[in-house]
Amino acid sequence: MSMSKIVRAGIELGVAYPFIKHYNYLERCDHDKACDNIVNTLRQHCGDYKVLGFDCEWITIGRVRKPVALLQLASPNGFCGLFRLCHMDHIPESLKNLLADKEIIKVGVNPAEDARKLQGDYGIYVASTFDIRYLAAMIRCKPLGLEKLSRSLLNVDFVKPWYIARSNWEFDKLDDDQVEYAANDAFAGVEIFKHLANRLKPRNYRNFTNTDFIAIKSKIEYLLDLDFSENIPITLSTIRVTIPITLLSKRDYLLEAPSGRRLCAVSKSKAEWYLEERLGEKLQSEAFTIRLYNDPFAEDNSYWQTSNQYECVVCGQKDAFACKEVVPREYRMHFPCNVTSFELFDSLL
């Protein structure tokens, strides 16, 4: 069979959000050399930050799963290759070597299971898979699926229609909806990994260095190639707080760094939680103050330079609104950008 049907690949994403806004180019390969070029591009993008978004698609007839039809790989730089394995006469060695490279981590949701499918269907060995839900759990986020993680962490409505998920991935030509769905799966995995890794070890989000990668890999290496399980013990990160604020309300309680530097205000219940978790000690002072045992992570965000305000974000009224402990998502859509642009474990009104 001609390799013109082998690979639909090389989707360069114009912008990060939404995941695929337009295609800069989309090409087919009719020989191994073209496939090698795509693999080389993926490798170049992993030069310093050795992570690839990884996912597979297949079809099921009745209760019988057919071999993997499509392999998706996305680089940290936004380049995505779609490899149509079901139409290949043979698997190019360059692709096999990329997947078997232990230094490049293949990330996604349940990637170890996809790796087993590739091994069973084509004899392709995939090394160093990592389930991004472990990274979410490390920073005390709920380990959700890809769609919900995209919404909660990236503020992206990543819709996965069932009729596309169950479509025929073995068609001679994939339609645009299938291409977008498949590329988004791989790209979402690597974007969520970058976001979570940045919260575990803050850095310049757009500039990924080999030092950043080594630091992150050392924290997750023992979880490589494992299926996700909430029963597997993980190492939680130190508690993450934000930069100092200057004005505090009377209902606020203070959080300090080990050096005594004031960090932020928290609720009484959260301050008590820090004590219960043995993350800090209570100081003898007029205000209820907790001093953390470890230096916290910090973000440069002007939100924390302002005093706490209790008012409706739509009309501005201060005495005629409903105050909720957890803000529903349909409320948050009306919030101004300066309120929703920061990262928190809680949703604040």
Per residue in 52-66, pLDDT tens?
Answer: 999 999 999 988 999
Domain boundary among 172, 201, 223: 223
Please report, rounded to a whole number, the percentage of residues in the chain having pLDDT higher than 70.
Answer: 66
pLDDT given for residue 60 in this prediction:
92
Could you identify the residue written with the tokens 């084509």?
A: 122
Return mean pLDDT, the chain: 75
Domain check: are 147 and 11 in the same one? Answer: yes
Cis bond upstream, residue 18 (ω within 30) = yes
Q: Identify whether 231 is part of a domain.
A: no
Per-residue pLDDT band at 317 (split at 50, 70, 90): low
Domain check: are 80 and 9 in the same one? Answer: yes
pLDDT given for residue 288 in this prediction:
73
Check pLDDT > 60 for residue 345.
no
CB atoms within 10 A of CB 187: 26
Q: Identify whether 257 is part of a domain.
A: yes
Planar angle of CA 124, 147, 107, nearest 5 degrees: 30
Half-sphere exposure of 187 (CA within 13 A, CB side): 27
Check pLDDT > 80 for residue 28.
no
Tokens for 339?
């309120």
* Closest of 20, 40, 9 to residue 187, by C-alpha: 20
Residue 40, φ and ψ in degrees, nearest 5: -60, -40
What torsion, rounded to 10 degrees, do the Cα atoms 124, 125, 127, 130 define?
60
Domain check: are 59 and 176 in the same one? Answer: yes
Tokens for 2?
């001609």
Q: Identify whether 286 is part of a domain.
A: yes
Q: Is 273 exposed, middle or buried (0-12, 13-18, 19+ CB in 10 A)?
A: middle
Residues 260-267, mean pLDDT to the nearest whole number: 76
Domain check: are 147 and 269 in the same one? Answer: no
* DSSP assignments along 270-299, one per residue: HHHHHHHTTSEEEESSSS-EEEESSPPP--
Domain check: are 272 and 336 in the same one? Answer: yes
Tally the domains of the chain.
Answer: 2
Domain boundary among 205, 223, 241: 223
Domain boundary among 223, 244, 279: 223
57 DSSP β-pair partners: 70
Domain check: are 170 and 278 in the same one? Answer: no
Domain check: are 165 and 291 in the same one? Answer: no
Domain check: are 260 and 218 in the same one? Answer: no
Domain check: are 118 and 206 in the same one? Answer: yes
Domain check: are 335 and 270 in the same one? Answer: yes
Lowest mean pLDDT among 40-44, 49-53, 205-209: 205-209
Q: Identify whether 156 is part of a domain.
A: yes
pLDDT given for residue 298 in this prediction:
53
Residues 297-311, mean pLDDT to the nearest whole number: 51
Q: Identify whether 348 is part of a domain.
A: no
Element (DSSP H or E) covering residue 211: helix 210-220
Q: Do residues 274 and 292 make contact, with C-beta atoms less than 8 angstroms apart?
A: yes
141 against 287, higher pLDDT: 141
Domain check: are 49 and 159 in the same one? Answer: yes
CB atoms within 10 A of CB 272: 15
pLDDT given for residue 135 in this prediction:
92
Residue 99, φ and ψ in degrees, nearest 5: -70, -30
Per-residue pLDDT band at 36 (split at 50, 70, 90): confident
pLDDT given for residue 6 in this prediction:
35
Lowest mean pLDDT among 144-153, 292-301, 340-349: 340-349
Q: Identify whether 283 is part of a domain.
A: yes
Pick the most confident of 26-35, 211-220, 254-263, 267-276.
211-220
Per-residue pLDDT band at 296 (split at 50, 70, 90): low
Q: Identify whether 247 is part of a domain.
A: no
Per-residue pLDDT band at 254 (split at 50, 70, 90): confident
Per-residue pLDDT band at 162 (split at 50, 70, 90): confident
Q: Do residues 214 and 203 make contact, with C-beta atoms less than 8 angstroms apart?
A: no
Q: Identify whether 296 is part of a domain.
A: yes
**Which structural domain range is residue 307 located in?**
253-340
Domain check: are 182 and 298 in the same one? Answer: no
Tens of pLDDT along 80-103?
899 989 888 889 999 999 999 999
Residues 94-121, mean pLDDT to the nearest whole number: 96
CATH code for position 210? 3.30.420.10
